[in-house]
A and B are shown apart, each in its own frame.
Chain A
Amino acid sequence: SYELTQPPSVSVSPGQTASITCSGDKLEYKYACWYQQKPGQSPVLLIYQDSKRPSGVPVRFSGSTSGNTATLTISGTQALDEADYYCQAWDSSTVVFGGGTKLTVL
């Protein structure tokens, strides 16, 4: 079965840039999405189709995909960005999530 691999944790200082990667075989040929989930809340869509940002998502969130890796970049990270982040793609009519990355802002 298809797998997406994320680092379990990423740390960043306030105001700096955080990058969260998501690796999967031939990921560049599938569209990657990114979601943010804070404790006790439902996930929120941040990025779809690799790099598109829904209305209302701050511009500091951006996405890109190259080869087997999709990357979520958070520029000027704020304390309120501390959360779990998940990548997601489709493979053979199956929704696949990465294992999630806990972003710590310290």
Chain B
Amino acid sequence: QVQLVQSGAEVKKPGASVKVSCKASGYTFTSYDIIWVRRATGQGLEWIGGMNPYSGNTDYAQEFQGRVTMTINTSISTAYMELSSLRSDDTAVYYCARWAAALDYWGQGALVTVSS
């Protein structure tokens, strides 16, 4: 069965970086884009960007341009999302999801807390 398993919760100081991983299983990793979404407390879902594991092409939301880097390691079917220059308003649950005509499978989420 398709699964996306994310890394655990992180606590970071303002200005630091965080790297969240997303390990896929149960399907051919290079056949579907991986999308990253976050949800801050009291807010809605926010698209961060996405990556095509086959081509390596990325698309980032304008709000995160210059701060986000998405990478993949196809040998271990894992996608990564690194966000730098963290601010308190980056505190949120970060999700990876598979795109197959929709975001059909989601990871369990990784809570990133930014606090001094």
Contacts and interface: CB of A to CB of B under 8 A. Distances in A.
Contacts of A1: 62
Contacts of A76: none
A96 B59 CA distance: 13
Interface residues of A, number: 23
27 contacts: A31-B101, A35-B103, A37-B39, A37-B45, A42-B106, A42-B107, A42-B108, A42-B109, A43-B95, A43-B97, A45-B103, A48-B104, A49-B102, A54-B104, A84-B44, A86-B44, A88-B102, A88-B103, A94-B59, A94-B61, A95-B50, A96-B47, A97-B45, A97-B46, A98-B44, A99-B44, A100-B44
B35 interface: yes
Interface of B is mostly: strand
Contacts of A54: 102, 104
User: Chain A CB within 10 Å — which of B37, B44, B59, B102 has the most?
Assistant: B102
Contacts of B62: 1
B45 A42 contact: no
Interface of B: 35, 37, 39, 44-47, 50, 59, 61-62, 95, 97, 101-104, 106-109
B34 to A, nearest CB: 12
B102 A95 contact: no
Contact of A95 (B35, B104, B109): B35
Contacts of A86: 44-45
A99 B61 CA distance: 16
B64 to A, nearest CB: 12
Contacts of B108: 42
Nearest to B103: A45
Given A48-B101, A49-B102, 5 more contacts: A42-B95, A43-B97, A43-B103, A88-B102, A95-B37
Interface in A35-88: 35, 37, 42-45, 48-49, 54, 84, 86, 88
User: Chain A CB within 10 Å — which of B35, B104, B108 has the most?
Assistant: B104
